[in-house]
Amino acid sequence: MKVNLFSMLLPAVVAVNVLSPLVQSPVILQQPSMVSQASSLTATAEDFITQLAEQQFADAAQGYGVGAQDVTDRTLRQNWNDIVAESGAFQRIISSQVVSQQPLGGEAIVTVECQFEGSNRELFVVLSGTQVVSFSPVE
C-alpha cells in the first residue's frame, strides 16, 4: 500500500514542480513584448519630432495616418514654427514615454520632452498603430 501511495503522489509532486514555472512564465514573456512595443512607439514619436526639427515637413506629413487629409507639410511647418517662436530654437530630445495606450494597435499617446533654446517643452504625439494622427505642445 505504501508503494501505491508513493507512486500516486510522485506524479502530482512532479506536476506541481514542473507546471508552477510554466504558469508564471506567460507574465514574464509578455513584459519584453510590452517594452519593445513601447520603445517602438517612442521611437516613432521621436522620429517624427526629429523630422520637424530638421525642417523635413513633407516627410513628416507622409507619416500621418489616412484620416488626416487636412494635414500638409504647410500646416506642420506652421505648427512647428509657432512652437519655435514661443520656445526658441530646437536643441534636442530629452526623453519620451508612452503615457496612454489602447490594446491591439489602438491609439497611443507619447510625450516627447524637448529642449529648446528658451525652455523645455513637452509635446504630445498621438499614434494609431505606427502612424502619427496628431501632435501638439502640452499646455
What is the predicted pLDDT for the residue at 129? 82
CATH number at residue 13: 3.10.450.590
CB 135 within 8 A of CB 126: yes
- CA–CA distance, 53 with 38 (Å, rounded to integer): 22
Q: What is the span of the domain harbouring residue 33?
A: 2-137
* pLDDT higher than 80, residue 132: yes
What is the predicted pLDDT for the residue at 101? 85
The C-alpha angle with vertex 123 and arms to 105 and 78, in degrees rounded to 5, equals 105
Total number of domains in the chain: 1
Region 94-120: what's the mean pLDDT?
90
What is the predicted pLDDT for the residue at 10? 35
- CA–CA distance, 133 with 105 (Å, rounded to integer): 13
pLDDT per residue as tens digits for the range 5-49: 334 333 433 333 433 443 343 333 334 444 556 788 999 999 999
CB 96 within 8 A of CB 111: yes
